[in-house]
Each structure stands twice: as structure tokens, then as C-alpha cells.
Structure 1
Amino acid sequence: MATISEFKQLFDKFLRENKCPTGEIVKKKYYFPVDQLKTIYTSMLTTTNIQWSQFQQMLINYVENLDFCYYSWECFSLIVQHLNTDKTNVYMFTNLLGFIKIPTEKNEDDKLLFKNNKRPQFKYNSEQLKSWVTVVWDDMKPFMLSNIKIRRDMLTLLIEKIQMHLNNPLVTADFLMDSLDTPGPIAILGLQGIFILVKDYNLECPNIYGKLYNFFTTDMFNYRYKTRLFYLADIFLRSTHLPELLVAAFVKRMARLSLVAPPTDIQIMAAFIGNLLIRHPPLKVLIQSDSIVSSDPYIFEEKDPLKSNALNSSLWELVSLKQHILPKVGKSVNFLFKKLPQVEWDMSELLDDSYESMIDEEYKTDFQKVSLTYEKPVSFSVPLSNHMDDLWTLDD
């Protein structure tokens, strides 16, 4: 089996032998040894005794070069067609896809691994790059459907770097819609992918708000991408032209969930509710309503937000949280019952909050000193309020 030092030697040889290539091909176009790089990548994927972190450290000096990243994706498009879980490490391949960036365009200050002013210069071809990326995405689908971890990792890559570089990003719509039906973080990643298609590529998704609404359950507090869900919901509900019936359902849903939410999430939901009330002033009636708890008309189990009857309810849940055991949480809820500000709360600061930061803040809080006795001592004798003699008899 190859060792990490042997791979370093392979890369050194790769770099040394191709600095000054000769032959007719060098005169016609920019020279990059794709076949040689593909062989090195293939060897990496078939090695079982080396950790990804070691490969990452070895590649870190190469990924700064535009031509290396550009032609790496050509290598990936060739390798992916022959991926085999029995012979190659597919997890390592997904790590490679995440580590090697997809170049967007060529700038004058970009580094090139094999730059030579006497030879044809490197030319960035966006259409060619898109075709390579599309092949990688299409050929990775069988692995995504059979392995939940690979599916999650590839969905993350799709959102962060791949989707915008596909020949037709809309072809991912069906896959993303299927991901919405998978419980847990995969559904949230699918939701973000759908959001990108709706926003940037005019995808029509009529039931997207219903799907978003049903993400808000007690299970969400255990999601790995919980903050991403809050972030997406804030963007989806940012429009002031949404029906008040729909927005009221989200407000009431979050108020109900806040009863069982962790303290950090209560703060996020309180700010979220406040922002929705600022965007839709008529919904302030939910705070001012005098509805009795036992007659709350809101239907928590209803899947359709428009049928949840939230607009006829009230936010009694938040009233009960005004006296939360943590002062910071109670304060964040109390703000909703005062005159709402004109400017929305900054959600980004709250999304990074954690138990550790909340505890640290409580430690730094100066509390008012409370007297331990209510009678001024006048001597060293037993104080006046000593009731021990009234309750106990001490034998000699």
C-alpha cells in the first residue's frame, strides 16, 4: 500500500516533470498533464491506510492554482464514471469534491501551476467546466440514493458550490423535492436547494410554504442544521405581500413550540415572531387578544397552515414565558408586549448563540445584594428573631 510520503513524491514528480514539457501539443494549447493527475487521484481513492486529513495537508499548496483546480474537475468527471464502492473510497471522493474549488473565472492575479510565457496561455472555459461538473453530479446520484451520508454531503456541496455550475440547475429540482420528504437535516438541505432554484432560476413551487411550515416540529430542536432552517424561514417570510393567514400560522406555530424549546431557541423564535409582527402590523392583534387558553382555536396538528385557524388565536404561550427562569429569555419575550420597534431584530447574532455564551453572560451579570437579616443586630447575643426556643427544648 502507498504511504503519504510516496504520494508526496508522486506530486513532486508530477510538478517537476511538467514544468518544461516538450512536443507538438505544447505549441498548440495550454499544457496540463490531466492523465497524470487523474492517475494520482485514482491511487488516492484506492488507498485505505491514509487519512483524508493527510491528503488535505498535501494538496493545500496546489489548490491555490487556478489551472490545478480547473483540470481537477476534468479528472473528477473521468474518475466518477468508474467509481466502485468495493475498490474506491467514495467518501474520500466527496471530500475531494468539497476541497477542490470550482473556478468562476480567470483573473490576472490568479496563480497557475504550469505558467510559461513562451507557451500558449491558460484559457478558462466556463461551458467546458460546467459539462465536467454536470457529469460528476449525474454520476454521483446512485451513491446518493444508496447512502445517507453521501447524500447529505453531496447536497451540501450542491448548495454551496455545484448548483450554479451545472449546465441546467433546474434538473436538480426533482432530487431536491424528494429530499424534502427525508426526515432530518437532508430535508433542510433540500429546502435550501429549492429556495435557490425559486430565487435565482424562477422555479415554481406552489406548496413550498406548506412544506416549510411542517418543518417546525419538536424534532427540529435536534436537527444538525437547525440554524439553517431559521435562516431560510426568515428569507421565505420576508415578503410583506404574503397572506396574513399564512404568516399568522407561522407566528402561532413558533409560539407553541417555544413552550418546549431550549432557551437559546426561544430567543430566536421570539425575535422571529417580532420581525413577522413588524412586517405585518395587523397581526399584532394576536398579542392583544384576550382568548382563554382552554378555548384556543388553533389546530397544532393541521398540516396546512391556511387551515390551522391561527388568526383567531392568541399568543398566550409567550405570556407564560415572560416569567422564564432565565432573565435573558424572559426579557426577549417581554419586548414583544411593548411598542414594537421600526427596525427588525438582527437574526444573525441570535443564530450563533449557544448555551456556553448564555452561561458566560449570566456569570458576568451583577446581581443586587440582598440582606440576609431584616433586624439590625444590637449585640452578640441571640437575635430577636430566634424562634428555635419556641420550637425545640434543649435538655441539659
Structure 2
Amino acid sequence: MSQSHIGKKRKRDDAPSRNQGRKRRTIRSGESSSLDVEQLEKRIAKDPSNNHNDVETLLQMLDLANPDAKLNLRAGVALCKVFSRLIASGHLNQDNQGNNQSQELSAWYAEQYRKYRITLARLLRSVSAAQRLSLVHLCWKVLEQDAEFLGNKVWVSESMFKPFLSAVVDIPGGTDVRETYVDEYMNQCHDCCYHSLEYFSTHVATSQDGNVLENVIEILSVLDPPPASAEDLNFLAEPPTKGSKKPLITPASLKRRAEEAWLSVLRSPHLTTGLRKSLLRITTARILPWMSRPETLMDFLTDSYDVGGSTSLLALSGLFHLITTKNLDYPSFFPKLYSLIDADLLHSKHRSRFLRLLNTFLSSTRLPATLIASFIKRLSRRALFAPPAAIVAIIPYIYNLLKSHPTTTFMIHRPPHPPYTKSTENLGEDPFDMKQPDPQKTGAIDSSLWELETLQSHYHPSVASLARIISEQFTKQQYNIEDFLDHGYGSMLGSELVKEAKKEPVVEWKIPKRIFTRAKVGEEGEEGEGNLITKLWDFG
């Protein structure tokens, strides 16, 4: 073969670096619908070296200014298949030992692959809600290819992972995308979970957008519990190691990453009252299992407990968990708990949650009788002004406390201290001090439960009949308060409507002759003359 012939052939093979601009076909939005994506894919698969410009054609179809959603997805899937074959055949390996043109072609393909991944991540932010999930699955498929191509480097900046994860976090209203990402990817691949948690810690700490914090909380709150052992770990890429022995990703290191992410969330300046309440609701079930050192939540929980109102109610379970499992010293726990039984509690939507927790907190028989008596008395007093649905839960709960702490039953047998008035400020000679913040000093143990006796005359029949259990013998061991906690106006009304009447009610009624008019004086019972309105409303 002559030297001149070799030179000409080399010039044709150098097209990717020198002549690609002249051979490239410009794609206009008007002709995009006529392009055959499958044909372009087959041409590249048949001869990657000579049909490399078809990759640019597909990229143009994927990145039109006014894209067709279906065409976008078809082009994206086709490019995924194209680059999958190129990776398998070694066309993206720039370290091969071929000639210069082969290395240049590999570098060119690697650059197109980089553009393709960036474009996919950008499109995920802009496509319609109907196309998001399909594009998420496509992005993950590309990430799996990256894991084969890059190995453990799939989690660093030159791969698709961070642009993809950034899009997942930042999409406004993308709850379905984030739930899919957690359920199908983070919970299944623990190396993905590990590096995602690392990204969240940094992103939350540096972002100035409050929506980012809300979206990260949305992701973290649906994570599965941490794996129990190393055998439960699954990896997308080959498991990385530190040195030669100790693995980088273990159940313990995964929990540390999650702990850092949660602490970044709790320390964020964008943490609003609403987000704080959302976190308090999931503290015991979702946050504490991921904390390698649960005591790091002490400040957050104690600060929330001191806020008051519904925030304090929501902080109860997490704080009690730390007290019982981590020996948290919080001497004012019971005085604060006592103060939460205020005028608004029994009208709050958190009423059932509070009574469930209160049942747990006061379940110990070693608590002093003076403390229990104060809670019984305070609940009884609040029941006087509570809705019926709350009263039917309070009375069985007080019954259970009396059975568990027999010393307090003297409050039932002790006669009331007359005279009592209807005023809440002056309740006669009752020694109970409602304004005393310390439940050990209220004097409730020397008082009586006249409030429950008063409820026996309640206007609601269910409340009145239930209150009579205090005046009867305590033959029942305990009530299951779960049977009473979820009652509302609807359930109580329904229970009354299904009851059959023992006898028909007596009703007296008479059809009036007129509604808006009346007969003149001296003409009662007479039809008389009147205007048109009078005649229209005459039912005689």
C-alpha cells in the first residue's frame, strides 16, 4: 500500500476531530418527527467508527428547544443502548493501545457520553410530571452503565450520580420522583444510600433554598430501617474498601452518614415550625433507628418540649425514649407534662396521641400517689369543659389509674367540700390548687372527684352512663383505652342513631294556614281578602 493511499485513508478516519462540523447534520424542530430513531441506533451499532455523527444527531433530538416528550424519551433510550454497546466494546476506553485516531475517537465518544448524561439530568428538571418517572428509570439505567464503566468512581463528580441526585432533590412538587428514588434505589443499593446521605449533609448545609430542606426531609423520612448486618448490604458498584481490610461501607458507617444528614436538617436555619412538628412526629419511628448516638437529639427534643402547645405534645415520645433508654436527666419532665393538660388539649387534634403517651408515662406503679392524684384531678377538672368525645376517653383512663394506684381511691370515697359554685375561679373549699405548677404540691390527694359525679348529669347519655362507673364497685380490672380514644362527634352520633327506640315519641303538631302573614284582629280563622303574596302562602 502506497504512502499516499495511507495518508488519504487517515484523513477520512480523522473525521471525529477535524471534519465533524462539516459532516454534522443540523436538526430543526420541524423535521424532528420524521427522523427514525431506531434506524440511527442500528447504524451506530453496525459501524461505530464511521457513523459516529449519528450520535450527535440523536443528542440534538434529545435537546431540542421545544422538545416532543415522546421523541425525547425515544432518543434518550436509543442513546442509552448506543453507549451501552460502546462501553461493552471498549470504544469509550481512552487508555487502549490503538493508534492515534482510535484514541481520538474514544475521547470524542467519552465527551458525547458526558453531554448525554448532563442533558438527561437537565431534562429531568424540565419535563412534565407524566414523563418524570420514565426519565428517572432511564437515568438510573445510565448510572448502572456508569458503574460498569467507572467502577467506584461512579459516585464522584465526573459521573451522572450528582447531577441526577441534584435534580431529584430540587424538583418542585416531585414527591413521586423522590419516593421512587428511595424505594427502588436507595433502599436497594446501600452504596447509593451511603453517598446520597453524604450529598444531603452538604447540600442542606450550603443551600439557601428552604424547599431543599423540605425535599430532603421527604426523602429521609421514607428510608427503610438500617441493615442489621454486613450480609444485608447490597451494592451497585464493586464494594469499596479502605486499604486492604476494612470495608468503607458497613451498617455502622451507613448509620453515621444518616446521623450526619439528620443533624444537618435539625441545625438548618430554614427549619420552620411546621417542619419541626413533622420531624417530631417521626422521631421515634424514623429518626432514632438511624442514630448511632441518639443522645445527640437531646437538645432538639428538650428545646421542642419547652416550646409548649402542640410542639411539646409531639416531642413527648422522643424525649421519653431518651429518658428510659439513654438515662437522660430531665427533672422537670412530669411538671412539664402536667402543665400540658391545659384548656386547649382536649379540643386538640393531638388529644388521642397525648392520652396514649400519658398512659405509657404513668404506667409505672412506683410513681408517688400524690403525683398520680394530681393528674387524675387535673384531667377531671378539664373534663368539665371538654367535648363528649374527649370525656368518654378520660373517664376510663382515670378508672385505670385508680385501679393501678389504690391509694388514690380515697378521692372517690371522700365527700365533696361544699359549697361549690359554677365559677371556675371559686370552687368552694376544694383543697386542690389548680394553679400550682408542681404536681407534688397541688393537694389533690386530699381532694375528691366531685367533677366525675357532676358528669353523671351530662347532657350526652353516653357520657352520663359512663361516668356512673365511678359510683359503682370496681369489679372490672382495666379498660382498654384504645376502644375510646378514636371517638369523635361522628362516631358518637352514629352509635346513638343505630339504637332502637323503646317506644314511639309523642309529637304534637298543627299545620298553620299562614306562614308569613297572619289574620287581622277579630278575623281569626277567616280567609279574608289579601294581597297576592298572602294568597300564595295560604295553605288553608
TM-score when normalising by structure 2: 0.61
* Cα deviation digits, residues 152-177 of structure 1 (max 9, x gap): 12222322211132121112112211
Deviation for aligned residue 1:190: 1.7
Of 452, 461, 474, the residue aligned with 1:340 is: 474
Q: Is residue 359 of structure 2 the alignment partner of residue 229 of structure 1?
A: no
Alignment partner of 2:221: what SS?
A: helix
Q: Is residue 193 of structure 2 the alignment partner of residue 72 of structure 1?
A: yes
Of 147, 172, 189, the residue aligned with 2:272 is: 147
Of 207, 225, 240, the residue aligned with 1:102 is: 225
1:198-209 equivalence runs, <5 A: 198-209=323-334
When structure 1 is superposed on structure 2, of 274-283 and 142-151 the one drifting more is: 142-151
Structure-2 separation of matches of 1:114 and 1:44: 19
Q: Read off the aligned partner of 1:101 and give its amino acid letter.
A: D
In structure 2, the CA distance between the partners of 1:36 and 1:267, relative to structure 1 (3 Å rule), is farther
Q: Read off the aligned partner of 1:347 and give its amino acid letter.
A: I
Deviation for aligned residue 1:184: 2.3
Of 52, 56, 81, the residue aligned with 2:202 is: 81
Of 327, 342, 349, the residue aligned with 2:461 is: 327
Q: Read off the aligned partner of 2:448 and give its amino acid letter.
A: S
Deviation for aligned residue 1:327: 1.5
* Cα deviation digits, residues 301-349 of structure 1 (max 9, x gap): 1111111110111111111101212221112211122112352111122
- Whether contact under 8 Å (1:169, 1:197) holds in the other structure is yes
Structure-2 separation of matches of 1:270 and 1:183: 25
- Whether contact under 8 Å (1:249, 1:309) holds in the other structure is yes
Of 205, 215, 218, the residue aligned with 1:92 is: 215
Structure-1 separation of matches of 2:210 and 2:351: 36
Q: Is residue 493 of structure 2 the alignment partner of residue 359 of structure 1?
A: yes
Structure-2 separation of matches of 1:24 and 1:81: 24
Structure-1 separation of matches of 2:148 and 2:174: 34
Of 129, 142, 148, the residue aligned with 1:22 is: 148
Match of 1:380? Answer: none
Q: Read off the aligned partner of 2:496 and give its amino acid letter.
A: E
Structure-1 separation of matches of 2:331 and 2:270: 26
In structure 2, the CA distance between the partners of 1:276 and 1:315, relative to structure 1 (3 Å rule), is same
Of 428, 451, 466, the residue aligned with 1:317 is: 451
Alignment partner of 2:344: what SS?
A: helix
1:301-312 equivalence runs, <5 A: 301-312=435-446
Alignment partner of 1:67: what SS?
A: coil
Percent identity of the aligned residues? 23
Structure-2 separation of matches of 1:165 and 1:306: 37
In structure 2, the CA distance between the partners of 1:315 and 1:74, relative to structure 1 (3 Å rule), is farther
Q: Read off the aligned partner of 1:241 and give its amino acid letter.
A: R
Match of 1:369? Answer: 503
Structure 1: runs of 5 or more not aligned: 374-393
- Whether contact under 8 Å (2:432, 2:446) holds in the other structure is yes
- Whether contact under 8 Å (1:32, 1:114) holds in the other structure is no
In structure 2, the CA distance between the partners of 1:62 and 1:33, relative to structure 1 (3 Å rule), is farther
In structure 2, the CA distance between the partners of 1:111 and 1:130, relative to structure 1 (3 Å rule), is closer
* Cα deviation digits, residues 243-273 of structure 1 (max 9, x gap): 1100000000000000011111101110110
Match of 1:128? Answer: 253
Match of 2:165? Answer: 41
- Which structure has more RCO (C-alpha within 8 Å, separation ≥ 6)? 1
Structure-1 separation of matches of 2:460 and 2:470: 17
Structure-1 separation of matches of 2:525 and 2:202: 94
Q: Read off the aligned partner of 1:227 and give its amino acid letter.
A: S
- Whether contact under 8 Å (1:259, 1:321) holds in the other structure is yes
- Whether contact under 8 Å (1:45, 1:90) holds in the other structure is no
Q: Read off the aligned partner of 1:2 and give its amino acid letter.
A: S
Match of 2:310? Answer: 185
- Whether contact under 8 Å (1:94, 1:153) holds in the other structure is no
Deviation for aligned residue 1:220: 1.0
Deviation for aligned residue 1:7: 3.6
Structure-1 separation of matches of 2:288 and 2:328: 14
Structure-1 separation of matches of 2:177 and 2:395: 45
Of 275, 288, 301, the residue aligned with 1:163 is: 288
Structure-1 separation of matches of 2:483 and 2:465: 16
Match of 1:55? Answer: 177
Of 376, 389, 406, the residue aligned with 1:281 is: 406
Structure-2 separation of matches of 1:395 and 1:24: 101
Structure-1 separation of matches of 2:469 and 2:416: 20
- Whether contact under 8 Å (1:69, 1:103) holds in the other structure is no
Alignment partner of 2:331: what SS?
A: coil
Structure-1 separation of matches of 2:191 and 2:447: 57
Structure-2 separation of matches of 1:221 and 1:273: 15
When structure 1 is superposed on structure 2, of 270-279 and 220-229 the one drifting more is: 220-229
Q: Read off the aligned partner of 2:339 and give its amino acid letter.
A: N
Structure-2 separation of matches of 1:87 and 1:246: 44
Structure-2 separation of matches of 1:144 and 1:250: 37
In structure 2, the CA distance between the partners of 1:255 and 1:59, relative to structure 1 (3 Å rule), is same
Structure-1 separation of matches of 2:233 and 2:498: 48
In structure 2, the CA distance between the partners of 1:312 and 1:131, relative to structure 1 (3 Å rule), is same
- Whether contact under 8 Å (1:255, 1:317) holds in the other structure is yes
Deviation for aligned residue 1:281: 1.2
Q: Read off the aligned partner of 1:327 and give its amino acid letter.
A: P
Match of 1:386? Answer: none
Deviation for aligned residue 1:191: 1.7
- Whether contact under 8 Å (1:278, 1:342) holds in the other structure is no
Point out the structure with max Rg over C-alpha.
2
Alignment partner of 1:218: what SS?
A: coil
